[in-house]
Each structure stands twice: as structure tokens, then as C-alpha cells.
Amino acid sequence: MVMQQFEAESKRLLDLMINSIYSKREVFLRELISNASDAIDKMYYKALTDDSITFNQSDYYIKIDVDKEKRQLTITDTGIGMTKEELATNLGVIAKSGSLAFKNENEIKDGHDIIGQFGVGFYAAFMVADSVTVKSKAHGADQAYQWYSEGAEGYTIEPCDKETVGTTIILTIKENEEDEDYDQYLETYRLQSIIKKYSDFIRYPIKMEMSEQKLKEGSKDEYETVIEEKTINSMVPIWKKNKTELTDEDYVKFYEEKHYGFDQPLTHIHISVDGNIRYQAILYIPETAPFNYYSAEYEKGLELYSNGVLIMNKASELLPDHFSFVKGLVDSEDLSLNISREMLQHDRQLSLIEKNLTRKIKQELLKMLRNDRGKYEKFYKAFGRQLKFGVYNNFGQNKDDLQDLLLFYSSTEKKLVSLAEYVERMKEGQEVIYYATGETNARIERLPQTEMVQEKGFEILYLTEDIDEFAIKMLNEYKGKTFKSVSSGDLDLNDEQDEKEEKLTDEEKNLFDQMKEVLKDKVTDVRRSKRLKSHPVCLTNEGEISIEMEKVLSMMPD
Ligand code: ADP
Ligand code: MG
């Protein structure tokens, strides 16, 4: 038997592959299972055009076996198999993808189910294995062949015994090293969790024998170890199902299974888009903010799948910052993945999806505001602050997304109201949206500045969070109405006009001069006011920065 050398480039590539392409060793299993699934898909496509093949769903599966003694992990599929030549070209030449060629040759337009395209995934096996044996019998062939390699040095191919069509891949798992635990890849529970994580939605059953402690028959307290073959993966992802097949409970259950949060989601959004870019998404609006939500530690992002295979845990590009609280996932066939399938080539598609999702999230929140006020207020309590940060941070882009989602406490309604509701109620002749700032509603209520405005029957929005006024200033106007603080110097209440011009009596002038003398650096001016009712005095400000904003700014580190 002659040992075939990998081509020179392949040798170097293989080294690179084993050592640096993947960030986690555990993905070798994802790659081998994806190949097995592709091989079964190919049988499926063959059956579509070849009447002599009947595709019996139950004949097709992927089987995982563990032999701890021999340190062997085996992945068997009932797919299309490989001929001797295919073993040599597909496994002997790195970056050669038989699957990509299959898609092209068969002109499978809708071939986006087939996962392989780069021709490197297979070699991920060498991240955890000292040697790899591939036994394969191709569909329509009489003889099976065995490919064997211990890594970069090369491979051998020879005839072998194999009854059924398909492929069996046997990995001899490495011995543990000081800082690397390889034994884990021989533990069925660990393998189960890797399969669940990356390959849960592979469309064919992934079976494994699992041992379980069960009550002995007829006994109440005696257990025995039973070995049972189990299907590990869920197969049909919930997001590929039709909305009409699913209940609210199904979505809540999925939220819990995915550990998106410890809370219950307030609502979910299930999207299926078949346009320029095809994708499905399930998004959740949580009920409560995670403990680290308003800190730098919080990482936004959605899970990203390509054809049911997990690519990224947190794709941050899929969500704008102001909707960073949204949980869920996106699955798309149309992503250009990079070679490790952990990252994306370029983000044009992602930004298209992001735009689309942002619009849907906004619509969903507006719907909640209209139809279920109590729920929306719960949401707003948890995440309203983030919306206001959104207005403040990227005002140009976010204004349209966010202005209708804001709520503030109203002096007349005694509850949270939206800007639209305020403007709707504006009195004839009222030009501006009045607001007042302070630490609490009760404190604002007692401000001398609010009295006159209220007296005139105008509604005032109470801003009690430090971000509020910054956000309002950024908004500048809502539906053509500008915002005005009740503390600003030039409050447009009609009879205020003559404050400045009206001549002061000598006595008044004297008093004001003395007050200015005492308050010196603390005030710019002291003057007579008509805005006061029951209070003797109040503070107003002239410039853009209000007294409350000054307080916030002075607390910020330089
Ligand atoms: P990719 O899946 O991106 O094509 P891989 O390195 O994972 O690259 O696999 C290389 C090729 O080997 C595949 O394209 C396929 O033609 C072939 N192959 C790998 N595993 C199997 C398998 N289990 N059954 C049939 N063919 C396989
Ligand atoms: Mg592959």
C-alpha cells in the first residue's frame, strides 16, 4: 500500500486548520455531522430525479457511537457515500468541496439545504483525533473503501468491508494533555450537549446510545443502568414551522430552553422573509432587564444560524443599540460565511436583516402600546431608559424609530402618556410641549415654576430621569411642536411679555440690587416675575442648559 502525500499547500493548510481556524475544538462534531447531513441530502436530491430510488425518511439517519476502551468516536451516516476517487479528491485535497461541486453539477437552485462549501470542515477532526478512518460505500458501487490518515503526513486508501451504502468515520481521540481535556469527547453527555448546541436542527435524526438510571421493574427504590438509543436533535426548528402550528406556550417553552432569560417574555415576533435575502427569525421582548443590562458588560446580539446550523452565539450586528434588549435568533441561507463558519464575510446581508428586524421590533412595540398598555408599561419600566439613550446617542437615525415609543408622566392625566397623546390634547393656541424636570413627580409638583403653567390649563410632562431632558433636547420637536421647560426664562405665557420693560419702583430696584449683591456669583439677574402664584420666588434659566442638566453634567467625570 502506498502512502499518498497531501499536496504541499494542503500540508501547510492542514497545520493551519488544526491549529488556528476554529476557536473551539468542539466544532469538529458540528462539521462531521453537517457532512453526514449533506450526504443524506444528496440521496434525497438523487431520489427526486431517479425513479429507481425511493427516499424512505426512516432509512436515513446519523449515528454516534463511543468506545471508551479504544478511545474511538464513530460517526455513521446512511448518505450517498464516496467512491475510491471521491475519497481521494474530497478528503485528499484540502479546500476541495465535493458538496459545492454537487450543487453546481446538479444545478440545484434550491440547494441551500446543503451545508458544505469550503472543503475544510472534515479536517477539524484532527483537532481532537490522532487518526481518522473513513469507511465509505458509494451509492451504486459494489466495493467499499477505507481512507486512513494520521494528519499532515498523508493518507492511504484501500478496499474494505462495508455492507451498506454510506459513510462511517472513526476518530481515535487524543490522550489528555496537561491543558487540554480530550476525554470529554468520549462522554455521551458532553457529546449530547455539543450536538444540541450546534446541530439541533439538522433535519435527520442524530442517534446515540445513552445510559440512564431507571427504576427496576416492580421495584420502588432499586435502580439499574439501562442503555437506550435516543434521538438527540429536535430536527425541525421552531422557526421553520408555520406560525399557525404554534401556540404561545411553544414560544415561551423555546425561550426557556434557550435560556434567553429567567423571566417570561412579554411577547414574541416570528418572521419569515422570502425576498432579496431569505431568513427566518424569532425575537422576544423580555419582561425584565438582565442584572447587568445597563452596564458595559452586557452584550447585545442574536443567535445566528445558517441552514439550521449555529454559526454565532451573539451576532451583535443584528440589533441596533436602542433595541439591545431583544433576544432570539436569525436563520438565513443567504449568508456568506467565512471558512471557519464562525464569522461572516461581509455584513451587507446582515445590515439588511438588521434594518428589517428593527422595523418589525418597532411595529411590535407600537402594537403593544396601542393594545396592551399595562404590558407596554412593564416593558417601558425595564427598557424605557435604553430607548431614551437611543434618542440621545444617535438622534438622526433613531428619532423616527423611537419618538413614538417614549412615555412621560403627565401633570393632568396623572399617568404615563406618549407624545402623540400629549399633542392630541394640546389646547387651542398652545404652541409648545411643556415639561418640568426634578427628582420625583412629587417634587416637580411642588415647583413654583409649574404653578402658572398649570393654572393656565396646560399639561406638563414630568421628567424624572437624568437622561430625560437630554433626550428631549435631542428630539427638539415632535410633530412640529417644540419642547419648552417651565423653568426657561422666556416662557411664552401671554402676560409675561412686559416683565422686563415695565418700570420698577425705586423701592423694588433697591431691593433687587441688594439681593444681587448678596447672591453675587450665584445668579445672573434678579427680576420681577408674573409667572408666580402662591410662591414668592423661583429660579429660571436663560441658556440651553437647564438647572437639572447642569446637575447631571457636574456629576459626570471629566
Ligand atoms: P465541505 O463540507 O465544506 O464541502 P468538508 O471538508 O467538510 O468540506 O468535506 C469535503 C468533502 O468531502 C465534502 O464536500 C463531501 O464531498 C465529502 N464528504 C465529507 N464527509 C462526507 C460524508 N460523510 N459522506 C459523503 N461525502 C462526504
Ligand atoms: Mg463540511
* Residue-by-residue DSSP string for 184-241: GGG-HHHHHHHHHHHHTT-SS-EEEEEEEEEEPTT-SS-EEEEEEEEE----S-GGGS
Give the 3-state secondary structure of residue 1: coil
What is the C-alpha separation between 78 and 88, in angstroms, rounded?
20
In the beta sheet, which residues pair with residue 273?
A: 279
Which ligand places an atom closest to the C-alpha of 77? 1
What is the C-alpha separation between 465 and 439, in angstroms, rounded?
7
User: Which segments of 275-353 are extended strands (E)?
Assistant: 278-285, 302-306, 309-315, 327-332
Q: What are phi and psi of 309, to 5 degrees?
A: -105, 130
Ligand 1 and 116: CB distance under 6 A: yes
Name residues whose C-beta falls within 8 Å of residue 448's C-beta, 6 or more positions apart in sequence. 532, 533, 534, 535, 537, 538
Cell numbers placing 29: 462534531
Which residues are found with C-beta within 5 Å of the ion, ligand 2? 35, 116, 121
Cell numbers placing 304: 445566528
pLDDT of residue 496: 47
What is the C-alpha separation between 51 and 380, in angstroms, rounded?
59
458 Cα to the center of ligand 2, angstroms: 67
What is the C-alpha separation between 389 and 368, in angstroms, rounded?
21
In the beta sheet, which residues pair with residue 156?
A: 148
In the beta sheet, which residues pair with residue 461?
A: 410, 435
Give DSSP secondary structure letters for 26-72: THHHHHHHHHHHHHHHHHHHHHHH-TT----GGG--EEEEEETTTTE
Cell numbers placing 497: 411679555
pLDDT of residue 494: 54
Per run of 10 residues, the mean pLDDT along the chain (length 558 residues) is 71 74 90 95 84 84 97 97 95 78 71 71 92 97 96 90 97 96 97 94 95 87 92 92 92 91 94 90 96 93 88 90 96 74 69 93 97 97 95 78 95 96 92 92 87 86 93 91 84 54 75 81 75 70 66 64
- Three-class DSSP labels, 373-430: HHHHHHHHHHHHHHHHHHHHHCHHHHHHHHHHHCEEEECCCCCEEEHHHHHHHCCCCC
Q: What are phi and psi of 210, to 5 degrees?
A: -120, 140
Q: pTM score, two decimals?
A: 0.74
pLDDT of residue 238: 92
121 Cα to the center of ligand 2, angstroms: 4
Which residue has the CA at smallest separation from atom 15 of ligand 1? 98
Cell numbers placing 319: 440589533
Q: Cell 445513552, residue?
A: 210
What is the C-alpha separation between 429 and 444, in angstroms, rounded?
25
Query: In whole angstroms, how far apart are CA 135 and each of 1, 64, 285?
Result: 16, 15, 48
Sheet containing strand 309-315, strands side by side: 267-274, 278-285, 327-332, 302-306, 309-315
Which ligand 1 atom lies nearest to the CA of residue 115? 2
13 Cα to the center of ligand 1, angstroms: 17
Which residue has the CA at smallest separation from atom 19 of ligand 1? 35
Ligand 1 and 10: CB distance under 6 A: no
Ligand 1 and 77: CB distance under 6 A: yes
Query: In whole angstroms, how far apart are CA 447 and each of 20, 45, 82, 256, 438?
Result: 64, 75, 82, 47, 9
* ipTM for this prediction: 0.99
